A and B are shown apart, each in its own frame.
Chain A
């Protein structure tokens, strides 16, 4: 029997390898075909459509082909996704539009300080592997709230788990759909709202029919597209500039050149250096110099919150429910990080190559000599020259002429580029054929869609499995459970698309908040639930409410009600990391009737996101919430009676890989 299963598994793995091998080959052949079509004179817009619709069609076909009517297939892909493939799926699940499009731009802008995000979004998998993932797999849950409910006996803990999950996943999924709309509208020239709903159809086709099973096999396909798309332009760039096709090795030279160029710019009077005496906006912060954009507290806070948040985000944790064994869950975390690493350790290369280009060919050059790609992005409001959107050469020249004493040579402070442009414009900057730009757009779409799939599934599963089945109607038959899951998925998706279509200003910032909220709400309860038998129901419930509550409070007050924060809660201005002085004059803003009436505060309000306690950026609110959560759980648990002996025996069971899962679901 055992050998039979092994043989069947081997055959399954071989078949998977063949399928995805063929798929990758087909994708590369497709790129080559489009490159040939481009040479034959097919217009760019048609190529863009080919890229987007071909990839969307493939995802939809996989989604439809892997549809299922079985509960365990729908929720955990039948628990037979091999470690390596689950690693790829997690990679796609993990890397969102923010990673693909935004990360390199953040590094371009912040230099060394941007690396807090690179470290934070990778190191967390160490915590997943050691503290959480394999144990939740052994437990045998369908969702994270499932675990909380079982461990902390009852539906109140489950309900809190669902609230935390929905709260941190919903804004995150809206950001992904927003990203989809942005990419589709830029590359296909579609109307933004239309593009949002086109992306929505792509997401629904994958996730609705097949649940976790379809999402898994689609995410693997999406990972392949996104990693090929991300690496191709910089590999070409690295070969062009340095003769070696490994950008991760060669960008050191670019960094050395950037540093030399920075000194030259300051010497030539083309840039003003940020110093401890004065460091206003528009001054140059050297690329390799740490702690110029974040204070050390906030720099390490971001690293810590993103890492712990990784180990608390339900849509990531649930991916490790799908492996065949605890052993493979652990291996799978390692594979996940390897596949994520491939993108993250390349992002600084994008930033360095783009920065070198900007510092050598744009700043210090005459305005007449600007290249045409600048105006394509300027038209979309993403590049500004001399304070105006650089839609045409003439607007740029006029804008600079309006500045008194401007010599016509572009200075550092004259050029402002939106961080999203860096990755998307690299092919154009390097003068590569349009087919590469189309490829990058397809990769960005894959990143946004795959993350949206995983998040939507996490939300819909929590609502259908935890709220509907476990709390409202435990006797519901299979068909009805699946129907409810699909209907809920549809409504959550439409709701987040509708929200994304309104272009809410805060949506991308909220991705960072989601990590802190997940960390404050989930991490203490999950970790103590696995590692401390003494943790009690009352303790966990109080801990989740206290930790998550303080984090949410800090976020909402410092972002939307900063005036109240200053008046009633003793918040003060955050500090400039270099000079140590207040970022804003709080008293002056508070006295201004214009800002006093701005309630809740708009994004333009100078106080929004710039006040707080202990100079703590609100992205790092998990630093307040998580310790409080731990403290409350421990203190309250110690005051109450210890959990029953059966429960303690079950917790022991979670730590041993051998044997059946602790929770047995009827299917």
Chain B
């Protein structure tokens, strides 16, 4: 139940809106030339979106099977 829709929506809000809102502060941290605020909006959030979608597809399928509403393979 780690990646149910409410958790995913919360992650979506955090990585789309909350983190970019602190871009100015995060930019003072620099890793390999990347200011962190810039990096998060350019790559970090995107990676989170991709990974969470794969996890969600897996989790939801598991839940569907548990409740007997999944499609036959």
Contact = CB atoms under 8 A, between A and B. Distances in A.
B73 to A, nearest CB: 7
A42 interface: no
B46 A256 contact: no
A400 B63 CA distance: 68
30 contacts: A112-B23, A112-B38, A118-B42, A119-B41, A122-B45, A123-B49, A125-B53, A126-B12, A126-B52, A129-B56, A130-B9, A251-B33, A252-B34, A255-B35, A256-B30, A256-B33, A289-B24, A290-B20, A300-B20, A330-B56, A333-B57, A334-B53, A341-B46, A341-B47, A341-B49, A345-B43, A345-B47, A658-B64, A658-B69, A658-B72
B57 A331 contact: yes
Given A248-B43, A256-B30, A326 B53 contact: no
A85 B46 CA distance: 21
A653 B38 CA distance: 44
Interface string A120-135: 0011011101100000
Given A122-B46, A327-B71, A288 B35 contact: yes
Contact of B8 (A130, A251, A656): A130
Interface string A273-315: 0000000000000001110000010011001100100000000
A253 B23 CA distance: 19
Q: For this complex, into which size category does the number of interface residues on chain A fall?
A: 35 or more
B7 to A, nearest CB: 10
A290 B37 CA distance: 9
A381 to B, nearest CB: 30
Nearest to A296: B21
Contacts of B72: 2, 658
B50 interface: yes
Nearest to A118: B42
Given A123-B15, A255-B33, A290-B24, 8 more contacts: A126-B49, A129-B53, A130-B5, A300-B20, A327-B57, A330-B60, A345-B42, A657-B70
Contacts of A125: 49, 53
A127 B38 CA distance: 24
Given A126-B12, A296-B21, A303-B17, A338 B50 contact: yes
A351 to B, nearest CB: 10
A325 B70 CA distance: 10
Q: Which 5 A-B pairs have the closest CB atoms?
A: A252-B33, A334-B53, A252-B34, A256-B33, A115-B41
Interface in A21-80: none
Task: Identify whether the interface residues of B are mostly helix, strand, loop, or mixed.
Answer: helix
A130 B72 CA distance: 21
Contacts of B61: 327, 330
B32 interface: yes
Contacts of A327: 57, 61, 64, 70-71
Interface of A is mostly: helix
Interface string B1-25: 0000100110010011100110110
Contacts of B20: 115, 119, 290, 299-300, 303
A41 B46 CA distance: 43
A118 B46 contact: yes
Contacts of A333: 53, 57
Contacts of B31: 252
A119 B16 contact: yes
A288 B35 CA distance: 8
A228 to B, nearest CB: 20
Interface in A248-262: 248-249, 251-256
Contacts of B42: 115, 118, 345, 348
Contacts of A345: 42-43, 46-47
Most A CB contacts (10 A, CB to CB) among B31, B46, B69 go to B46
A337 interface: yes
A299 B61 CA distance: 35
A656 B41 contact: no
A344 interface: yes
A6 interface: yes
A330 B8 CA distance: 14
B17 A325 contact: no
A334 B56 CA distance: 9
Given A130-B9, A256-B33, A341 B50 contact: yes
B30 to A, nearest CB: 7
Interface string A393-405: 0000000000000
